């Protein structure tokens, strides 16, 4: 996967903050900490998108999904 300018800028800002607050580690540790933080932020954003989908009625119950999957896969040879 190719890096984006946004990712590089995000890591740069993160690393500068770490240096400023005295929490600088090795480059590898800093990158690992940035990845953990980024994954956490992405997970929270995905959960919030899901909540908005539910509130807007763009979701299906587990029972509806189960019934749909059974219909789809029952037709397979």
Please state the length of the chain. 77
The confidence score (pLDDT) of residue 75 equals 76
Task: Please report where in the chains the tokens 């997970």 appear, as a residue.
Answer: 43
75 three-state secondary structure? coil
pLDDT digits (tens, 9 = 90+) for 7-59: 999 999 999 999 888 877 788 999 999 999 999 999 999 999 999 999 999 99
The confidence score (pLDDT) of residue 77 equals 66
Residue 76 pLDDT > 90: no
What are the DSSP calls for 1-41, one per residue?
----HHHHHHHHHHHHHHHHTT----HHHHHHHHHHHHHHH
């Amino acid at each position: 996967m190719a890096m984006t300018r946004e990712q590089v800028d995000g890591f740069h800002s993160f690393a500068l903050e770490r240096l400023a607050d005295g929490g600088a580690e090795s480059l590898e540790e800093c990158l690992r900490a940035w990845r953990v933080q980024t994954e956490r932020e992405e997970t929270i954003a995905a959960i919030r998108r899901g909540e908005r989908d539910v509130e807007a009625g763009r979701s299906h119950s587990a029972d509806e999904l189960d019934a749909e999957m059974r219909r789809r896969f029952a037709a397979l040879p």
